[in-house]
A and B are shown apart, each in its own frame.
Chain A
Amino acid sequence: MSDDSRTAERRQFMLDAARMACGVGMLGVGLGLYAKQAKALPPAAIRPPGAGPEKDFLGACIRCGLCVRDCPYNILGLAKPEQPVATGTPYFVARTGPCEMCEDIPCVKACPTGALDHQLKDINKARMGLAVLVDKETCLNFLGLRCDVCYRVCPVIDKAITLELRHNERTGSHTVFEPVVHSDHCTGCGKCEKSCVLEVAAIKVYPIQLAKGELGSHYRIGWEEKRKAGGSLVAPDVEHKYNLPEGMRYESGKGLSPVPGGEAPASGGVDSLRVPNPGANAAPAGAGPRHIPGGGLTSRMSDEVPR
């Protein structure tokens, strides 16, 4: 073979290889970008218990569907190509069918690759997502009703969801039972979202990274540090002082009462409220608060006086 023909052959080989590399490379760029996109799991799609973060799950799950098959409640489905979840991977939607939290976790056992972590033995330790009461404007409990459905259906009742009581400012005479989700117990099963009685659920399960805030690593919570240290870390511990009207004192359960001895300015730890211009007040100087017209401060602030 002559040198020329060998050069031509080599040249042809290089060109063929370049053509192939470029063609396949184009496919690769497209598919690679699509794969990056595929990591963005829509918030409504929840992975089965034991699934790791999406970036790990999409490498570990081989899309066999055994978890789907072994789910006794048939809540899992494999994503179809047109759905915004990585093709062939399992997920469920809390609003249509939440996880029933089987104690033996058959979906995890069925997983052949460990994409659903076989270390998960206690379903209460699953973290499929985190329930968030997203809309306080429509939540019936916030409107003052005793709906409580999300609280009642929660498989980890009184731990994952508690009802926090507070005064109903609107009626002035009722209590609001605010459902509060606690991330250290919520499994993200979605039963609360499923059973929310509204047209659109006011409580929803979100991926934990969307739902959860995080303190700066340098933050310290004072009362926890104090508890850990067994005492105040600020020395000396400053005694709390009430800002009270002059000549009054406060006792827990009794409310305000005049300091014995009447006019003597309050001292010994009680800051007196000093009236800038006593002469302008209706109460003459030296008169006790009990003489103030309209019942007086004492009767109005005392716990014993009926309001």
Chain B
Amino acid sequence: MSDPDRPRGRARAAAVLGVGALGLALTITAGATLLPPAQPRSTAGTVSGPVVLAEAPASASGLAQAVNGLQARLKRLPRDHQAWASLGAAYVQQARITADPSYYVKADEALDRAAALAPMDFAVLTGQAALAAGRHEFTKAVRLARRAVAANPYGSAAYGVLTDAHTQLGDYPEAAEAVERMMELKPGVASFTRASYDAELRGDTTAARELLEAALRDAFTPEDVAYCRYYLGELALRAGDLERADQMYDAALRSTPDFVPALAGRARAAALGGRLDEAATGYAAVVARLPLAQYIVEYGEVLTSLGRDPGDQWALLRAQKQLMAANGVRDDLTWAEFEADHGSPGAAVRHAEAEYARNPNMVAADALAWALHKAGRSRDALPYARKATARGWHNALSIYHRGMIEKALGTSSSRSFSQVKLYNPRFSPKLPALARFS
């Protein structure tokens, strides 16, 4: 109790302890620094509610806004089947604009909800038809669209799906009939662009251009404006007018600066104009943004023309094929065309036959003809080449293919080759993918 040493000892102890605590704290802090920071465990904190937008009808604003409005409405009214159907159709449209296939899954689910509430409703059937067409299930799309038409004979959108699906199935007269009816019911960008394609497939490029110009006058959203300008560019490009094509692509980019098809169009025009380096740079940017098979093949062909190795692009393409196989998707057309031009003709024939069996349209006929020719079966190819060119479509690539087949068979090919020159004086057989109509 009276130990004189004790206070001193205690002070010393406290000092040593203080230093010890400091050191310990430092050591532990250092340890914590080296380890990854812990995840926040609590969700308490700012709870931000969803941003509720004014509910505007789909017609008044862009697609994204329409989707927002529909989502807000459906959170309030989950039993509004028309809203579910509109949301499904809007997701299909978004998949088309963004090339993001995950929207198809969402569209499917939304349309399932709509169908559970009202299976025979025309809006539900139209949405389901549009989704089927988006997924390349054209026979199913026709079936659903017909039911939608029966439910609402004045609904223009169902005729739009009918037009698309018939075109892909090679039923051109039915497609023309459907688009005519669509234009009756609702003149505007949706029907004019389809009528333009119909005219183009008949070889009436003047009507095709005029209808696209009418569609452009009618287009309201920037995306639709860009779409019309882009296809005006494509029409010019396929006719060899690269300058006008460039102007149109630029115009498309003015209305929608990140419109990838127009960026690809510019690269295409550069390549066909002989500016291959510029084209390669352009395609590199396009593929970095949106690695669609079509862009990858075009890029690969430009690289080949430049004497560079397209191996990376072909690897990317094969990866796409693996992914699609894993997703249960068949894309025989792309592979038929690719294998015929750059790979194995035997594989090309298999793909082309599969594609033609499903969708016997002119593009598939051309792919099959070219694959058979490349596989040394030019005689078998000729009927398909004729079919691909019979309706007068100004498709220089198909006619070039026909000419090559005729030449191989020793029959007269001069008419075909002169048509190629006539339709597209800038056609380059070295860049076949760039001449493909899409």
B is a partner of A: no
A interface, CB within 8 angstroms of B = none
